[in-house]
Amino acid sequence: MSFLHHDVPLTWYLLLSAALFSLGVVGFLIKRNIITVFMSIELMLNAVNLSFVVFAYQWHEVKGQIFVFFVMMVAAAEAAVGLAIIIAVFRVRATLAVDRINLMKL
């Protein structure tokens, strides 16, 4: 269990996490397909998870690991609800382009 400690310094993991997160943000902003947007969000969550795990390991603190479980749980719930909504929207609108789905406008 100590390979992380020996081989790769903490910074690298954090850089990876930041890169993944940025990818997620960019995808979240520029993608039109709602599924892709959704995947970008998952990417961001997992980027954060990664840093949690790293910090938890670094500081020998179990709380970080627990938080990862929380995040995963939320992500799962979100995926379930979100996908359900997406399917419902697709049935009505026959499209997954976010620009076309502007029902939220007052």
Where on the chain is the footprint of another protein (CB under 8 A)? 25, 28-29, 32, 34, 37, 61, 63, 98-99, 101-106
Q: Is the CB of 3 or the CB of 88 nearer to another protein?
A: 88
Q: Is the CB of 76 or the CB of 97 nearer to another protein?
A: 97
> Min. distance of Cβ 7 from another protein in angstroms?
27
- Helix H, strand E, coil C: the string for the chain is CCHHHHHCCHHHHHHHHHHHHHHHHHHHHHCCEHHHHHHHHHHHHHHHHHHHHHHHHHHCCHHHHHHHHHHHHHHHHHHHHHHHHHHHHHHHHCCCEHHHCCCCCC
